[in-house]
Amino acid sequence: MGSWIPAQFAENRAPTVAELSHALPDHPAYIQYLYDYALVNQRGIDVLGLNNTPPPDLAGIRVERDAKGSATGKLFGDIAAFNQLFASISSNADREGGLRQFSLI
């Protein structure tokens, strides 16, 4: 929980999807930068079906794609759309368990 800005990191940039995927390979994860964009790891891309044909309709969210049409993991949208999308990838019990684990740190 909390916020971040690129300047707090030595590289002065957001983490990459590869870095996020390396840190959390087995669980869908996202980080949100202010209200501008969110990054999802590879597991998140898979769980959300962002590379499915056709891709899912994500109301209020634009998925950045590379030259081959694959999702890069960068999503643009508003806070309400992000909240709805990310709430759909885990159950209330999973979110509650995660918050409990976080509170033990």
Residue 22: the pLDDT is: 96
62 within 8 A of 76, measured Cβ to Cβ? yes
* Percent of the residues in the chain that have a pLDDT greater than 70, as a whole number: 97
Residue 19 has pLDDT above 70, yes or no: yes
pLDDT in tens, 65-77: 999 999 999 999 9
43 within 8 A of 21, measured Cβ to Cβ? yes
Residue 57: the pLDDT is: 83
Residue 56 has pLDDT above 90, yes or no: no
The terminus-to-terminus CA distance of the chain in angstroms comes to 12
Given pLDDT bands bounded at 50, 70 and 90, which one contains residue 104? confident
